[in-house]
Amino acid sequence: MGKTLFDKIWDAHTVTDITGGPTQLYIDRHYCHEVTSPQAFDGLRGRGLKVRRPDRTFSTPDHNIPTLNQDRPIADPVSARQVDTLLKNAGEFGITLFPLGDEHNGIIHVMGPENGLTLPGSTIVCGDSHTSTHGAFGAVAFGIGTSEVEMVLATQCILQPRPKTMRITVDGRLGSGVTSKDMALYIIAQLGTGGATGYFVEYAGDAVRALSMEQRMTLCNLSIEMGARGGMIAPDQTTFDYLKGREFAPSGKEWDEAVAYWRTLPSDDDAVYDREVRFDAADIEPRVTYGTNPGMGIGISEPVPLPPDDAAARLSFEKALAYMGFRQGESLEGQKVDYVFLGSCTNGRIEDFRAFASYVKGRRKHPDVTAWLVPGSWKVRRQISEEGLDKVLEEAGFEIRQPGCSACLAMNDDKVPAGCLSVSTSNRNFEGRQGPGARTVLAGPLVAAAAAVHGVITDPRKS
Ligand SMILES: CC(C)[C@H](C(=O)O)[C@@H](O)C(=O)O
Ligand code: SF4
């Protein structure tokens, strides 16, 4: 029987299979940020241990940082301590750190790929659920908890039960004005937020193959929101073209050898998955969420659905609608928008800024909308200027902030006020996610741009 992409990478990294227990898996790349690493480093210190492979460990502050005046000391004392602790730990344990202001600094899941640290065929972990993003390169990448961060720091290995495999095939082509964010939100709505629990997902099919690397990252990023352990896409020419010449990617003879190996990774024709699901790209339109989890989403032209039959599910559905202030049967189009957030490890890359700018070009931001445009990294920020997108955005009344997780989660200064409706390109719309009482509608960059211009939720294909 043939092997899947996942099997090939997992098997190549298996140190020991513990009978009746987990696998001891070797980790190629370990990313750390300021939120989930402090106790792990404390644990090492307490036990007098070193980091096993500092050369394979890369860190950057992203969650607690402000997105204005990053050259000044961080005002919030908790955030300042978090960031400072990462700085000290990186120095003490000799791991690479990209501090605030460094040209490599950015959201960890934006920083890794754009610097060529995320490579096909590798195992990648980070104390962060959206580590699934890196699977876009054909890597086994997954989020881990703080005690596991300590385990990887100390041993460069992790104990993991082998997940089941699921292939999600999307046939056909995405329509114009439809992005991979819409594809991801569509899939999550079909499968439910627990639909992929216990599985590692591989995305396949013509619609997936046609995606750029950045769109693939957006798709894999959201895998975790349907419970998947991770999401991945087989590496191909698109992957190699993206990686070639990036700072930490192999070069010269090593590049040729790496590509030759990477070409062997796609699943064999006779590989068998534990579960197979198929969708048609033609069924996907720009998406918006109406509730308080990423699975509560609809096509922008659809009404908020009827409540589910199950009594408990009905209760949480009604609670979500009450929180969001939406009614079943009504359309989200035309709902007043207070905030727009373009950014996060889901949609904070250059292509997202290009898409947003393409819509707002020659138009104006609506005066009642507060818009936060937050690049995912300093490299993205620089490219925005190099491509002249900053001019387009500024002429349309937008201001670009400095990189960070920002309004994706209320862990820094960028909080959406209670009661306000925010159209956000991030990945979570939980109650209070963007600030206590804030109401979040998840969408792609084009829907976000249309909302920012019109001040109400608008189908970007219409106007
Ligand atoms: C802070 C971190 C642990 C968390 C995660 O794991 O995803 C955050 O990045 C998020 O998006 O909620
Ligand atoms: S941008 Fe959002 S989802 Fe991504 S790592 Fe930061 S907080 Fe988590």
Structure confidence by residue, pLDDT tens digits, 213-247: 999 999 999 999 999 999 999 999 999 999 999 99
Q: What's the Cα-to-Cα distance from 462 to each of 79, 177, 337, 359, 421, rounded to whole Å?
A: 42, 10, 18, 12, 22
Single-letter code of the amino acid located at 9: I
Question: What confidence tens digit (pLDDT) does each residue in 262-278 have?
Answer: 999 999 999 999 999 99
- Closest ligand 2 atom, residue 129 Cα: 8
Q: How far is the CA of 193 from the centre of ligand 1 (A)?
A: 16
Pick from 221, 346, 422, 426 the residue to mutate for probing ligand 2's pocket: most ligand atoms within 8 Å of its CB. 426
What confidence tier does 1 reach under pLDDT thresholds 50, 70, 90? confident
Question: Within 10 A of 126 (CB to CB), how many other CB atoms are there?
Answer: 28
Instruction: Compute the average pLDDT of residues 47-53.
Output: 98
Q: Is the dihedral of CA 96, 98, 103, 108 positive or negative?
A: positive
User: Is residue 436 within 8 Å of residue 417, measured between CB atoms?
Assistant: no
Domains assigned to the chain: 5-169+230-261 (3.30.499.10), 311-454 (3.30.499.10)
Pick from 344, 406, 409, 431 the residue to mutate for probing ligand 1's pocket: most ligand atoms within 8 Å of its CB. 409
Which residues form ligand 2's pocket by a CB distance below 6 Å?
Answer: 62-63, 107, 109, 128, 130, 344-345, 405, 408-409, 426-427
420 is known to lie in a ligand binding site? no
Is ligand 1 within 6 A of the CB of residue 38? no
- 463, pLDDT greater than 90: no
- Give the pLDDT of residue 365: 98
Instruction: Compute the average pLDDT of residues 439-456.
Output: 98
Using a cut of 0.90, tell me whether the model's pTM lies above it: yes
- Closest ligand 2 atom, residue 62 Cα: 6
**Quick one: which H or E segment has residue 370?**
strand 370-373
User: Is residue 25 within 8 Å of residue 13, measured between CB atoms?
Assistant: yes
Pick from 62, 79, 128 the residue to mutate for probing ligand 1's pocket: most ligand atoms within 8 Å of its CB. 128
Biggest alpha carbon distance in the chain? 63
The span from the CA of 443 to the CA of 300, in Å, is 10
Question: What confidence tens digit (pLDDT) does each residue in 91-109 have?
Answer: 999 999 999 999 999 999 9
Interface pTM (ipTM) of the complex? Answer: 0.99
Single-letter code of the amino acid located at 113: P
